Structure formats: C-alpha cells, structure tokens
C-alpha cells in the first residue's frame, strides 16, 4: 500500500516533537532547573536555554524561580518592655540562592512550604526584637526618636542567622516594617499625648519666630535711622554747596545787573524755542521784547548854539 508523503512528513514531525518533549527541557531567564534521577538530585542548571534529560520516570525536572519573592507577615499584637501594646507586620523579600540546597528541604521544591517556614522564623525574630524597644521607638512626634531602620535591621540579621542555620538555600534580601497599629484602648491616650507634644513644639517654633522677627525689626529700624542720618547729612552738604555757589554767582551778577538781566532773558528764550514750539504771547513780555524789530534812534538836530568853531 502506497503512503502519502505528506502523511509520512506529519508523522515524522510528531515523533520529533514527542522526542523533544521526552529528552529536552527549557530553562528561562531568572529560572533554575533541578534534575533528579530516581528521586535524588543529579544536576542543577542555572543558565537559560535548552537542556537534555532522560525520559520520565528515570529523570524529572523541577524549575525554580530565582527572582526576589515577597512575603507579608501577619498583623500581630506585641507587648513592649514599657507595657505598651502595638500591632506590627513586616514585609520580607527573599530569593532561592542555592537550588541544590533548597530542593531536598521542601517536598517537590514547594515555595509555599518555604514561605510557611520563613513566616515562622520572621514571627519569632519580630517578637524578640520588638520586646527590646520602647513605644517611642515605633511611634513619636519627634522623627529623631523613631528607630524604624534599626528595628528592621535587627529583625533582618536575626532571620538571616536562623536561615543560615537551616541551610535551605534561601537568601533574605530585605525586611521592612509594613504596618503599625494601636489597640483601641490606648489610641486616644496616645493621640492626646501626641497632640500635646505637637502643641508644645508649635509654641516653641512660634516663640522663636517672634524673637527672630523682633531682632529683624530692630536691625531694620537701626539701619533705617543710620540711612536717614546719612541722607540728612548729605543733604546739608549739598545745600551748603548750593548756597555757596549761589553767593558766588550773585556776586558776579551784581557787578553788571543789566548784563545779568540780558543773559537770563536770553537763556529763558533759548529754553522756550529749543524745540518746535508755537507760542502766542504778548511781544512785550519778557524775554520776547528782544524779538521786536526796532529802528535805531536818529538824533534830532539841535537848534541850540554850540561852542564849536567852524573853520573854512
């Protein structure tokens, strides 16, 4: 019986795909693959790309996400050494650093089981650290008194030490305080105290501001007084110089009053006519009388006898 070439090609292609599924696996970026042989870890592949394996049930591949994963602890109640009570939850960042150490610790490389164990470790460290800090380290109107960074670092170091003792291949990258709460029985008392502290702080700032304002005003008044005194002294000097110059000019003018009057009228006329100006004034007004056309006076013959002697 003759077979269709297309059917043979499709059958061959399906066999290849089936063989690839049995003998090849793919590791994506940020993933790690743990290959077990008869249930025991045989090898670990952390580079992205394809890998070879023997078909199941001889070898089996478990893929682990090596990106940073998050875990938020429960919002739980803690009693502080100063007998105050707060609610606290923390936010944990972790990643699978060593897949070979991680795999045998948890069934089928379950991240859920790892999170459950990590949550217990964080709760224990959180209880221990919170029991060493007073209420003011968590809640205060003065930012300098709060020690969030110190508390977070202490919890982080304790969790890292516990994880290192377990050798479970996890790396704790960060721990941060997620939320802080107060019981209803103490919330009003705490808020009243915070309000009182805030009012005291505001009064202190206002007092400092008023003191600074008085100093600035006093300094401004002093500078204004000095400036006015300097200006008055300069004005007196200028006035004295002007009066001295006036007396000098007056002495010069008194030497020839007619010439001085002529010069002043001429100067006034120049000022009036320096621009394109049209004036309608009485021609006899000073200093316009100088614009009038006058004929020179001709002396009349004298009929009186003179002492002159005519000679021929």
| 120: in domain | yes
The domain boundary, picked from 164, 182, 200, lies at: 182
Helix (H) or strand (E) holding 79: strand 76-79
In this structure, the answer to whether residues 90 and 21 fall within a common structural domain is no
pLDDT at 154: 93
The secondary structure of residue 209, as a DSSP letter, is: H
Q: How far apart are alpha carbons 302 and 312 in whole angstroms?
A: 22
> 77 and 119 share a domain?
yes
Which pLDDT belongs to residue 80? Answer: 86
pLDDT score of 306:
40
Q: Residue 289 — pLDDT band, cuts 50, 70, 90?
A: low
51 lies in the same domain as 88: no
User: C-alpha angle 73/79/84, rounded to 5°?
Assistant: 125
Same domain (yes/no): 59, 73: no
Number of domains, the chain: 2
Burial class (CB in 10 A: 0-12, 13-18, 19+), 147: middle
Q: What are phi and psi of 35, to 5 degrees?
A: -105, 120
- Give phi and psi for 44, each to the nearest 5: -130, 135
Q: How many CA atoms lie within 13 A of 122 on its CB side?
A: 28
Question: Are 154 and 171 in the same domain?
Answer: yes
Question: At 120, which CATH number?
Answer: 3.30.479.30
Do 59 and 89 belong together in one domain? no
53 assigned to some structural domain: yes
State yes or no: pLDDT of 89 exceeds 80. yes
Residues 174 and 73 in one domain: yes
pLDDT band at 86 (very low <50, low <70, confident <90, very high): confident
pLDDT in tens, 35-76: 888 878 888 888 888 888 888 888 888 888 889 999 988 888
Closest CA to 34 of 94, 108, 95, 114: 108
Task: Say whether pLDDT at 141 is over 50.
Answer: yes
pLDDT category of residue 187 using cuts at 50, 70 and 90:
low
Output 289-298 pairs: Cβ under 8 A, ≥24 positions apart. 290/265, 290/266
Specify if 52 maps to a domain: yes
pTM > 0.85: yes or no: no
Nearest to 49 by CA among 68, 37, 69, 32: 32
182, 209, 225 - which closes a domain: 182
Q: Let me know whether 81 and 159 are in one domain.
A: yes
Residues 143 and 51 in one domain: no
User: Which of 18, 47, 65 corresponds to the end of one domain?
Assistant: 65
- 253, HSE (Cβ side, Cα atoms, 13 Å): 11
**Shared-domain flag, residues 107 and 165:** yes
Tokens of 90: 């923390």
Instruction: Express each pLDDT in 202-237 by its tens digit.
Output: 888 888 888 888 889 888 888 888 888 888 888 888
Residue 111 inside a domain? The answer is yes
| 174 within domain boundaries | yes
**Which residues pair with residue 76 across a beta bridge?**
88
Q: For residue 254, is it within any domain?
A: no
Q: How far apart are CA 234 and CA 210, in angstroms?
A: 36
pLDDT at residue 197, rounded to an integer: 76
pLDDT of amino acid 277: 67
For residue range 238-256, what is the model confidence (pLDDT) as tens digits?
988 887 887 887 777 777 7
Has residue 277 been placed in a domain? no
Task: Kindly state whether residue 171 falls inside one of the protein's structural domains.
Answer: yes
| Domain containing residue 27 | 5-65
Between CA 126 and CA 55 the distance in angstroms is: 46
The token pair at 41 is: 């870890």
């Amino acid at each position: 019986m003759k077979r269709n070439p297309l059917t043979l090609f499709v059958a061959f292609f399906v066999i290849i795909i089936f063989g690839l599924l049995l003998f090849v696996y793919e590791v994506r970026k940020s993933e790690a693959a743990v290959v077990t042989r008869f249930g025991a870890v045989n090898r670990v592949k952390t580079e992205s790309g394809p890998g070879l394996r023997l078909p199941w049930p001889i070898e089996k591949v478990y893929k682990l996400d090596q990106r940073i994963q998050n875990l938020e602890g429960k919002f739980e109640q803690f009693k502080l050494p100063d007998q105050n009570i707060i609610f606290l939850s923390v936010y944990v960042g972790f990643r699978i650093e060593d897949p070979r150490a991680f795999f045998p610790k948890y069934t089928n490389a379950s991240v859920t089981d790892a999170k459950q164990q990590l949550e217990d470790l964080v709760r224990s460290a959180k209880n221990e650290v919170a029991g060493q800090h007073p209420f003011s380290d968590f809640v205060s109107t003065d930012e300098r008194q709060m020690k969030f960074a110190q508390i977070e670092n202490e919890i982080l170091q304790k969790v890292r030490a516990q994880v290192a003792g377990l050798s479970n291949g996890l790396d704790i990258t960060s721990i941060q305080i997620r939320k802080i709460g107060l019981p209803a029985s103490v919330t009003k008392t705490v808020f009243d105290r915070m309000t009182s502290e805030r009012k005291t702080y505001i009064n202190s700032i206002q007092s400092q501001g008023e003191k600074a304002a008085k100093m600035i005003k006093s300094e401004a008044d002093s500078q204004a007084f000095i400036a006015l005194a300097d200006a008055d002294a300069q004005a007196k000097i200028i006035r004295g110089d002007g009066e001295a110059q006036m007396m000098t000019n007056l002495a010069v003018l008194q030497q020839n009053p007619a010439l001085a009057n002529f010069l002043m009228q001429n100067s006034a006329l120049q000022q009036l006519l320096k621009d394109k100006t049209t004036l309608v004034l009485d021609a006899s007004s000073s200093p316009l009388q100088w614009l009038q056309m006058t004929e020179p006076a001709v002396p009349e013959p004298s009929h009186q006898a003179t002492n002159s002697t005519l000679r021929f």
